[in-house]
């Protein structure tokens, strides 16, 4: 069988599958599941085109990894065929552990279990199916390979993962502020002492990358309506689990029912492999089929929340630089109790707050290194003449408040 196929990607054009191993990994059921998990969760409720998947993103990240390796080899960096295939496999599988709606339901379906841990567990399983052919890829993924630049290409502040999701998410949302010069950045990559660096000529492309990432977070990933929709989705699941635990029969697919009916945390998840088996059968369609059915549920709170999500009659979401005062929250709770006749225990489903954070660049962790023309290595923050790079490195915190639109506009002092 000819396994050297070509995928027509809307962002990059033709993407080649370089080897039989990579082809077989793509064909694996765990990877095919990513076709049914949206890359940016509920973002399509704000940007209708944002319906692309984790599958597309993983293929795109693999493509950028292949371009980076070609560039480095052309500049004299010694990379063996085994290392190249391992790096491609590592980036291809980096998101294999994402659950339904990506980050939205992380730690909700399974308490305390991150997608990074799930990815690691699934990579170990796939490696058994492939009789150890992923050993080096897993070592690279876990940052235990002596040539650190391979891990940096998979996971760092300038990795092929981030490069692809910025390109892809800006393409499908239509938000042009997220467009980056990925080809220019890749062309400027080099390796010094097994560490990834960017040649000085590429410094402005890196600056644009950091600015684009900051803008995409506020304009797309942390857009107030997206945050509100994701919080509503989480509250729906919390209510469904509460009802299920109290003995109420809930419609759900077998895989979703497994997580609705059991209390699963990190310790018992790791102790019982059947939990991971059921997780591999779970995707967005399980959650949406349940929500569509719960629109008719006898529980009023669950029914109303599902109706609002399905019809896009979302809660009003307000964003502020300051925490919301106790007096304001008391007023919102009073209105909810009066309008919906809600009890104190039910208020959490009508009103919810969240602190959100955004930092485009972390100067304390795995920094981006610039190779100066003098041969010296400098941090991007030192090498850049961009006056607001320090501002990009500052962690910005904002607060959101969501409440039903039936309450009307509530006077909230907002400092933007």
The low-confidence residues of the chain, meaning pLDDT below 70, are 1, 386-388, 413-416
Contact present, 220 and 43 (Cβ < 8 Å): yes
**Number of helices (H), then strands (E), in the chain:** 19, 9
Which pLDDT value is given to residue 359?
84
Which pLDDT value is given to residue 416?
47
The Cβ of residue 70 has, within 10 Å, a number of other Cβ atoms equal to 13
Closest C-alpha among 304, 312, 310 to residue 292: 310
Cα-only R_g, the chain: 23
Which pLDDT value is given to residue 387?
56
Question: Rounded to whole angstroms, what are the CA distances from 191 to 156, 161, 165, 196, 369?
Answer: 14, 19, 23, 5, 10
Question: From CA 384, how far away is CA 241, in angstroms rounded?
Answer: 50
For the chain, domain boundaries? 6-222+363-394, 228-313, 315-359+395-416
Question: From CA 340, how far away is CA 327, in angstroms rounded?
Answer: 20
Which pLDDT value is given to residue 393?
77
Judged on CB neighbours under 10 Å (0-12, 13-18, 19+), 113 is buried
Which pLDDT value is given to residue 369?
95
Which pLDDT value is given to residue 111?
82
pLDDT, tens digit, for every residue of 153-206?
Answer: 999 999 999 999 999 999 999 999 999 999 999 999 999 999 999 999 999 999
DSSP for residue 376: -
Is 6-222+363-394 CATH 1.10.3210.10? Answer: yes
Which pLDDT value is given to residue 131?
96
Q: What's the whole-number average pLDDT of the chain?
A: 93
Q: Which CATH number fits domain 228-313: 1.20.1250.30, 3.40.50.800, 1.10.287.130, 1.10.10.10?
A: 1.20.1250.30
Would the CATH topology of 6-222+363-394 be identical to that of 228-313? no
Which pLDDT value is given to residue 290?
97
pLDDT, tens digit, for every residue of 196-244?
Answer: 999 999 999 999 999 999 999 999 999 999 999 999 999 999 999 999 9
- The helix/strand/coil state of 87 is helix
Which pLDDT value is given to residue 112?
83
Vertex 103 angle, CA 391 and 125, to 5°:
120
Report the CATH number of the 315-359+395-416 domain. 1.20.1250.30
């Amino acid at each position: 069988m000819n396994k050297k196929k070509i995928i027509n990607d809307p962002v990059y054009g033709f993407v080649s599958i370089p080897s039989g191993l990579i082809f077989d990994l793509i064909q694996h059921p765990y990877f095919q599941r990513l076709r049914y998990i949206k890359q940016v969760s509920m973002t399509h409720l704000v940007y209708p085109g944002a319906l692309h998947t984790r599958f597309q993103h993983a293929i795109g990240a693999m493509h950028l990894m292949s371009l980076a390796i070609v560039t480095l080899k052309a500049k004299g960096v010694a990379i063996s065929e085994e290392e190249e295939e391992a790096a491609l496999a590592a980036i291809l599988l980096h998101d294999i552990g994402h659950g339904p709606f990506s980050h939205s339901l992380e730690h909700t379906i399974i308490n305390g279990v991150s997608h990074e841990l799930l990815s690691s567990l699934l990579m170990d399983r796939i490696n058994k199916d492939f009789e150890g052919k992923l050993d080096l890829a897993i070592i690279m993924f876990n940052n235990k390979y002596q040539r650190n630049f391979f891990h940096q290409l998979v996971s760092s502040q300038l990795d092929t993962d981030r490069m692809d999701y910025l390109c892809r998410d800006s393409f499908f949302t239509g938000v042009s502020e997220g467009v980056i010069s990925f080809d220019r950045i890749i062309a400027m990559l080099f390796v010094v002492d097994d560490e990834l660096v960017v040649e000085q000529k590429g410094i402005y492309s890196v600056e644009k990358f950091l600015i684009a990432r900051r803008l995409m977070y506020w304009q797309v990933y942390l857009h107030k309506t997206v945050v509100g929709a994701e919080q509503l989705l989480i509250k729906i699941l919390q209510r469904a689990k509460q009802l299920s635990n109290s003995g109420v029969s809930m419609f759900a697919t077998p895989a979703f029912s497994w997580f609705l009916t059991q209390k699963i945390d990190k310790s018992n998840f790791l102790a019982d492999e059947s939990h991971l088996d059921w997780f591999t059968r779970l995707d967005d369609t399980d959650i949406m089929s349940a929500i569509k059915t719960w629109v008719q549920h006898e529980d009023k709170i669950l029914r109303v929340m599902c109706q609002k999500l399905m019809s896009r009659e979302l809660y009003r979401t307000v964003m502020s630089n300051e925490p919301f005062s106790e007096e304001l929250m008391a007023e919102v709770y009073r209105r909810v109790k009066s309008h919906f006749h809600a009890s104190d225990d039910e208020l959490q489903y009508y009103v919810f707050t969240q602190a959100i954070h955004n930092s485009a660049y972390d100067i304390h962790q795995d920094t981006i290194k610039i190779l100066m023309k003098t041969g010296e290595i400098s941090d991007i923050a030192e090498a850049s003449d961009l006056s607001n790079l320090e501002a990009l490195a500052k962690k910005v915190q904002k607060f959101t408040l969501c409440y039903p639109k039936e309450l009307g506009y509530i006077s909230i002092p907002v400092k933007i």
